[in-house]
A = this chain, B = another copy of it.
Amino acid sequence: MSQSSALPPSVTRLIDALMQLPGIGPKSASRLAYYLLRSPAELSLQLADALRDLKAHTRLCTVCFNITESDPCPVCSDPSRDHSVICVVEEPLDVMAIERAKVYRGAYHVLHGVISPINGVGPEDLKINELLARLRRAGDNGQPVREVILATNPTVEGEMTAAFIQRKLTGLDVRVTRLARGLPVGGDLEYADEVTLSRALEGRQQF
Contact = CB atoms under 8 A, between A and B. Distances in A.
Interface of A: 1-3, 5-11, 13-14, 16-18, 20-23, 28, 30-37, 41, 43-58, 66-69, 74-75, 78, 91-93, 95-96, 99-100, 102, 105
A94 to B, nearest CB: 10
A68 B8 contact: yes
A54 B44 contact: yes
Given A1-B102, A34-B92, A37-B67, A10 B44 contact: no
A43 B30 contact: no
A21 to B, nearest CB: 6
Nearest to A46: B17
Nearest to A50: B14
A30 B93 contact: yes
Chain multiplicity (copies):
2
A67 B100 contact: no
Contact of A67 (B7, B32, B54, B93): B7
B48 A96 contact: no
A174 to B, nearest CB: 24
Given A5-B75, A74-B5, A54 B11 contact: yes
Nearest to A91: B34
A31 B91 CA distance: 11
Contact of A17 (B16, B47, B58): B47
A50 B18 CA distance: 9
A22 B35 contact: yes
Contact of A3 (B2, B49, B54, B100): B100
A45 B47 CA distance: 11
Contact of A6 (B13, B20, B44, B75): B75
Contact of A96 (B3, B55, B92): B3
A10 B46 CA distance: 12
26 contacts: A1-B99, A1-B102, A1-B105, A3-B99, A6-B66, A6-B96, A7-B92, A7-B96, A9-B69, A10-B53, A10-B54, A11-B54, A11-B67, A13-B50, A14-B51, A17-B50, A18-B47, A21-B32, A22-B31, A34-B92, A34-B93, A37-B54, A37-B67, A44-B51, A45-B52, A47-B48
